[in-house]
Chain A
């Protein structure tokens, strides 16, 4: 995954009405990129049909036997 840089982050936040202080975007990039990279490493090849609600079914399948 291509890393986000400061100007991109600044534009992203600005488009959502959240302007950043000077120099803040670069610091945000340093925090956000490792998280995006770590999560992407596991989600790069998710099954096509997999949807978020599958979690609720997994919760039921995995529940402790009483």
Chain B
């Protein structure tokens, strides 16, 4: 095996079970890669090498002893630094929580751990997950592994960069306004924003409970299906987690695509999307058509109106959560996050409640009208090419706010509706940067999205491209 880090999570799991490789070898290979690439990418907040190596030895011993093992047995992962572990620091990407030690255990992490996964460390993220670019004034900006001058997308910046550069086999992100999908799309990996309530958020730092979801970023749709399979399902500790039964995501991957129909908002692609990005979406649609999927033109959602509701809800809820710190420690926020939080205090309670009351109607309209006759919608992650870090940083000039707005424009509306979306790499632009595409479905349609994504990745090799070698 040339470099075991280049295996997908599913391939690595199979190699481990067949004893073609040990957990210790996998973990050592990841650590070597992290040590090599961390200075350039700044994807990790904390590396827990010794603990992970000890876990890897224990995982190998269990396999040698013939013990029953979980589907993620011995696989090294790392997660956005906002998933709590008792006795461990969780910075949440902030100065305020720089030394904060959690006293509880995230349900998502517990479930991954129960399935046998190891944790190699914690990953960079936007401060309090409140930023779509991947900037972080306190931890340092995370860098896009395809070109370190460009943003990774946020807020799960380290998760996107670490998975793309093959430092780990998978990572947890969280998505309130695009925070799994932006880094997945911009770093050229696969990520799923599950249906709201599909995965317990207990022990995960909240940003806006009405919109927050927990989900994985990994190399492929099959990897994400396996990770979501492990984590999904009701949790009494998160009363908003869904009681909807969890389907067999992994089993569904091999189902035929016959009878599936995908809608493409062609007018939007032609009218407002960068030609290179639009071309990638059309090529993805053509690939799906070649696989037997019916592809039709649809009107597409009113992303701007839905995004306004999403932003309004997020601003009010995050400002409420951060109230005590905004009153006592305002100077400890970065200027960008402080400015976003200030906005929430200016929004009338009636406007907030109106947006919540409208949410169900908007969802029904989307499912009945926008998705009429189709199973899913195919859209780009961003309408524009990926911007640089400088263009989106403080002092980025008069166009900065607009540039940042474009990053989240096609993402935020999905959180308002609470529907699932799978992000795939749809190719590369002329600068060699990935072009993300997203497939958006009805509530709890994750199986369908994984089927489409898996088939697409069987017909293309974009997801197998690696940005850094060695």
Residues on A facing B (Cβ under 8 Å): 4, 9, 12-13, 16-18, 20, 24, 27-29, 31-32, 34-36, 38-43, 46, 50-52, 54-64, 66
Contacts and interface: CB of A to CB of B under 8 A. Distances in A.
Contact of B312 (A36, A46, A51, A58): A36
Interface of B: 195-197, 244, 247, 304-305, 308-309, 311-312, 315, 323, 326-327, 330, 339, 342-343, 345-348, 351, 353-364, 366-368, 375, 418, 441-445, 447-448
B369 to A, nearest CB: 11
A35 B443 contact: no
Contact of A62 (B348, B356, B367): B367
Contacts of B448: 64
A62 B359 contact: no
Given A32-B343, A32-B347, A39-B355, A55 B441 contact: no
A18 B355 CA distance: 24
A24 B311 CA distance: 19
Contact of B357 (A36, A51, A60): A51
Contacts of A31: 343
25 contacts: A13-B342, A16-B327, A20-B342, A29-B346, A35-B308, A36-B348, A38-B305, A38-B308, A40-B354, A43-B357, A43-B358, A46-B357, A46-B361, A50-B357, A50-B361, A52-B353, A52-B357, A58-B360, A62-B363, A62-B368, A63-B443, A64-B375, A64-B441, A64-B442, A64-B444
Contacts of A18: 323, 326-327, 330, 342, 345
Contacts of A59: 195-197, 360, 363, 418, 443
Contacts of A27: 339
Contact of A55 (B312, B359, B368, B442): B359
A24 B418 CA distance: 33
Main SS class of interface, B: helix
B360 A54 contact: yes
Contacts of B197: 59
A47 to B, nearest CB: 9
Contacts of B444: 63-64
A35 B360 contact: no
A25 B358 CA distance: 28
Contacts of A34: 308
A49 to B, nearest CB: 10
Nearest to B445: A64
Nearest to A29: B346
A39 B312 contact: yes
A40 B357 CA distance: 12
Given A16-B327, A63-B445, A64-B441, 9 more contacts: A13-B342, A13-B346, A35-B312, A38-B308, A40-B351, A42-B309, A46-B361, A64-B375, A64-B444
A54 B305 CA distance: 20
Contact of A28 (B304, B342, B375): B342
A64 B326 contact: no
Contacts of B364: 58, 61-62
A48 to B, nearest CB: 10
A1 to B, nearest CB: 8
Contacts of A29: 346
Contacts of A9: 346
Nearest to B448: A64
A10 B274 CA distance: 39
Contacts of B305: 38-39, 41-42
B442 A62 contact: yes
